[in-house]
Amino acid sequence: MSTAGQVRKKKLHHESVYSVIKCKAAVAWGRGEPLSIEDVEVAPPKAHEVRVKIVATGVCHTDWEYLYETGKGMKFRPFPLVLGHEGAGIVESVGPGVTKFSPGDKVIPLFLPQCGECDRCRSPKTNHCRKNWDNTQMGVLADGTSRISCKNQQIYQFLGVSSFSQYTVVPDTSLTKIRSDAPLEKVCLLGCGVSTGYGAAVNTGKVEKDSLCAVFGLGAVGLAAVMGCRVAGAKRIIGVDINPDKFDKAKVLGATECVNPRDHNKPIQEVIVAMTHGGVDYALECVGSPDIMSAALESTADAWGTCIIAGWTETAAMKVMVEKILMGRTLKGTYFGGWKSVQDVPKLVDDYMNNRLELDEFITHSLPLDQINVAFDLLKSGKSIRTVISL
């Protein structure tokens, strides 16, 4: 490229970095209100921030839950906001101090950061980096403001991501670069649901070969947990759900049998214990219900059973009888499946590209952004596993 061409390219990049982008986003103006497709403005990235063109995003139950049940299972976060936290896209521009990303990179935004420098990042015991955590949990970035606005009003960024917008800005510690040949409309699912369920089995639970497993809840997280148990070599995987329409998909991903609690006149934990002559080795709760969490724990073998909580709730309390733990059971929680986000998500993308991890099987619907409320309806009615929204 000629010197003049390089100067022109640099100038265009400079202008892109310091210009506001106008685009479409699905805005949640208030609790319980359907999302509204609006023209929004996305500001340039500031220091250590990256502006991303979102190509595709999954629609997660947590997005629906925050919109319609905030204050119940979810802590309050301010409105108006742009939901979405399971996206994939392409770097549009980078702010000052960003060294690991360049325009054109394929990336997955992350609601769980990995700064690589704090005690938690340096410890193999956890993936719970807290870089910018308090801010992003409340929908703002490091300086206490959002980069998205609409009608001269700040629009908060859900979990610091906001993938229901055609463009968004995220901290450079909440983003990971992936291989250039990865299909973004598939690997976006690794931004939340599939990674969480799969990791709950292989990382947090450390499911063993020839073990007995039960997975409670067969949504995207639960089906990914089933897949994780299968990959770990479990010999028996029992899927539990009140929606029998999910059973065929569960069996495709590795369930050996499925049980509907409504088909029995006794508690499901008693059913599982009877089926397995004493309880399973591993139970994975993927619903976010305290009652189901208790049932999952009680479905495990009393001397060595492990229960992993992957279902999301922020405000509810779980009831546990001391004896259920005292005799030898283990109760564990998992967040994002235990994956160190920045370093591990690209490896999961590689596993998908090398046919070691399923993603296509989770996608039941594909819709444009203006059909986002239809995607929520499909999710709530149990007709979809994952709807992928193209932006």
Instruction: State the Cα–Cα distance between residues 139 and 151, nearest whole angstrom.
Output: 18
Say if CB 130 and CB 120 are below 8 A apart. Answer: yes
User: DSSP alpha helices (H): ranges in the chain?
Assistant: 3-17, 61-69, 119-122, 133-137, 184-187, 193-199, 220-232, 247-253, 268-275, 290-298, 322-326, 341-353, 372-380
State whether 155 and 295 are in the same domain: no
Whether residue 199 is contained in a domain is answered as no
State whether 56 and 116 are in the same domain: yes
Tell me the average pLDDT across 37-56: 97
State whether 157 and 253 are in the same domain: no
State whether 288 and 349 are in the same domain: no
Whether residue 5 is contained in a domain is answered as no
State whether 375 and 262 are in the same domain: no
Tell me the average pLDDT across 229-239: 98
State whether 169 and 26 are in the same domain: yes
CA separation, residue 70 to residues 66, 200, 210, 312, 386 (Å) = 5, 25, 41, 13, 21
pLDDT of residue 6: 47
* Final residue of a structural domain among 333, 357, 372: 333
State whether 176 and 237 are in the same domain: no
Whether residue 3 is contained in a domain is answered as no
Q: Please write the tens of the pLDDT for every residue from 58-103.
A: 999 889 988 887 666 667 778 999 999 999 999 999 999 999 999 9
96: tokens are: 């000052």
Whether residue 235 is contained in a domain is answered as yes
Which CATH number covers residue 80? 3.90.180.10
Whether residue 13 is contained in a domain is answered as no
Q: Please write the tens of the pLDDT for every residue from 235-252.
A: 999 999 999 999 999 999
State whether 221 and 262 are in the same domain: yes
Identify the residue whose tokens are 């005690």: 119
**pLDDT at position 1 over 90:** no
**pLDDT at position 12 over 50:** no
pLDDT band for 312, please (50, 70, 90 cuts): confident
State whether 309 and 377 are in the same domain: no
Which CATH number covers residue 316? 3.40.50.720
Whether residue 12 is contained in a domain is answered as no
**pLDDT at position 292 over 60:** yes
pLDDT of residue 8: 47
Domain, as residue range, for 246: 205-333
User: DSSP alpha helices (H): ranges in 233-326?
Assistant: 247-253, 268-275, 290-298, 322-326
Whether residue 4 is contained in a domain is answered as no
pLDDT-above-90 percentage for the chain = 86
Q: Please write the tens of the pLDDT for every residue from 187-198.
A: 999 999 999 999
State whether 37 and 178 are in the same domain: yes
pLDDT of residue 9: 46
Report which DSSP code applies to 71: T
State whether 71 and 152 are in the same domain: yes
Closest CA to 253 of 299, 293, 194: 194
Please give the tally of structural domains in the chain: 2
Distance of CA 158 to the CA centre of its chain: 12
Q: Which of 5-19, 130-144, 155-169 has the lowest mean pLDDT?
A: 5-19
Mean pLDDT of the chain: 93
**pLDDT at position 265 over 70:** yes
State whether 314 and 352 are in the same domain: no
